[in-house]
Every structure is written in C-alpha cells, then in structure tokens.
Amino acid sequence: KNQVEQSPQSLIILEGKNCTLQCNYTVSPFSNLRWYKQDTGRGPVSLTIMTFSENTKSNGRYTATLDADTKQSSLHITASQLSDSASYICVVTTGNQFYFGTGTSLTVIP
Amino acid sequence: NAGVTQTPKFRVLKTGQSMTLLCAQDMNHEYMYWYRQDPGMGLRLIHYSVGEGTTAKGEVPDGYNVSRLKKQNFLLGLESAAPSQTSVYFCASSPYPRTENKETQYFGPGTRLLVL
C-alpha cells in the first residue's frame, strides 16, 4: 500500500534552534518528493521538489534530503524563526498520483 | 497578481442543502485541482481539470461535481451536503501537468465548510 508517514506529529522548539522533520514512504514507483509549508488557516506553499537523482536540496534555511534506497526524506530547518511555526507536509508522487503525509506541526517559541 | 483565490472563506450548511465553491486563478494555469483536508489525514484530491472544458475524478469524488467553463475558474459543487463533507477545501493550480517533475501547485487560502 502506498503510504507517507511523517514524524514527529508535533514539535516545539526554541527560536534560533535547529530541527529535523522526517518523512518515510512506501510509494512506488517513485517520481518525486515534495515538502510544503502550511501556515495556520492558509494553503500549502511549496518548499522543495526532489527527484530520484537528487539527495539534497536547499531553499534558504530549509534543507531537504532524500535517500531513495531507504525511502526516507528529512527536512532540516536551521536557526528557526517564529515565522517557521507551521505544519510541514511531505508529498510523494508516482507521476500522476500524489500521496500526502499528515504533516508535522512545528511551533517555534521565543 | 492575486494568485489563487477562493470564495467563500467560510460557510455553514444544513444537511441536504447545496452550494458552490469558487476558485479563481490569474496565472493562466492550465491545471486546476480541488482537495479536501481533514484532521489526521493528508490532503485528498476530489476532482481536477487539465484545461478549460475538461474535468476528471480524483481520489474522493463522490458527492461533488465540478465545472471548468473558463480557464481561470474551477467550481466545486455540493449537490446535497452531508455532515461527512465538513472539511477545509483547497483549490490549487499549476502551469504543468502532475507528471512533470518541475510541476508546482499553487494553493488558495481554503474554504472552511461546516455541514450540520
């Protein structure tokens, strides 16, 4: 069964600290993996898209990694800011089919 | 550019009532999508469109209908609302098909629907 699982479900960190969010998937065949940021009450916004051949991709303070062999991805946030408080959603696609994770809720406190 | 806008932002319906959710995009995108988002579940695709005048079923289409009469608009209809349709509905658009790796979906702000 094609599934995307994210951990932890929620996370609280102090402003300025780093954190890593995990995404494990069983989706096959693999086309690409995306990370979205969703602020409360807003629609998701794309952070990164990674294909099979890419194992690291950065977008500012966000760095995504992909290990296609173990079917794992992580999103590392460096020097967190209050504005990073949001839900982070991992999406794995087969091309035409998109599989959404349930997200990790991140809260950054001062 | 306004991007993707959704109307209304919030609505309360009684069981059996009908309504239409409007999605509009000003980016001239071919591809448009309707999703629903429920607590503890990932976004689920309801219907999508690959161009003006075309629509297709997604993962959870039952109880919904859609129309794409104009390229910039994608309407989602609930013919007879049920409490199970209480959800947050998101519209998205993209300039590329889902099969392309450079495809990025631009999401609207969502419509919160409560069916009593």
Q: DSSP secondary structure string, B10-54?
A: EEEE-TT--EEEEEEESS--SEEEEEEE-TTS--EEEEEEEETTE
Evaluate whether A15 touches B53 at the Cβ level (below 8 Å).
Answer: no
Calculate mean pLDDT across residues A44-71: 94
Residues in chain B: 116
Evaluate whether A101 touches A73 at the Cβ level (below 8 Å).
Answer: no
Task: With a cut of 90, say whether residue A105 has pLDDT above it.
Answer: yes
Q: What is the pLDDT of residue B101?
A: 77
Calculate mean pLDDT across residues A58-70: 95
Q: What is the pLDDT of residue B100?
A: 83
Considering only CB atoms, B104 lies closest to which of A42, A49, A99, namely: A49
Calculate mean pLDDT across residues B11-37: 97
Q: What is the pLDDT of residue A95?
A: 78
- Judge whether B40 is closer than 8 Å to chain A, CB to CB: yes
- Judge whether B107 is closer than 8 Å to chain A, CB to CB: yes
Average pLDDT, chain B: 94
Q: What is the pLDDT of residue A1?
A: 87
Q: Give which of A107, A106, A89, A92 is closest to A28, Cα–Cα.
A: A92
Q: Do A100 and B108 touch (CB under 8 A)?
A: no
- Judge whether A81 is closer than 8 Å to chain B, CB to CB: no
Residues in B touching A95 (Cβ below 8 Å): 98-99
Give the number of other Cβ atoms within 10 Å of residue A33's Cβ. Answer: 27
- Judge whether B42 is closer than 8 Å to chain A, CB to CB: yes
- Judge whether B95 is closer than 8 Å to chain A, CB to CB: no
A73-102: pLDDT as tens digits: 999 999 999 999 999 999 999 978 899 999
Task: With a cut of 80, say whether residue A109 has pLDDT above it.
Answer: yes
A5-29: pLDDT as tens digits: 999 999 999 999 999 999 999 999 9
pLDDT band at B8 (very low <50, low <70, confident <90, very high): very high
Q: What is the pLDDT of residue A40?
A: 93
Q: What is the pLDDT of residue A72?
A: 97
- Judge whether A89 is closer than 8 Å to chain B, CB to CB: yes
Q: Do B99 and A95 touch (CB under 8 A)?
A: yes
- How far apart are alpha carbons A56 and A45 in whole angstroms? 19
Average pLDDT, chain A: 95
Q: What is the pLDDT of residue B103?
A: 76
Q: Which one of A98, A102, A104 makes the best mutation probe of the B interface by having the most chain B beta carbons within 10 Å?
A: A98
Q: Do B42 and A99 touch (CB under 8 A)?
A: yes
B99 vs B34, more confident = B34
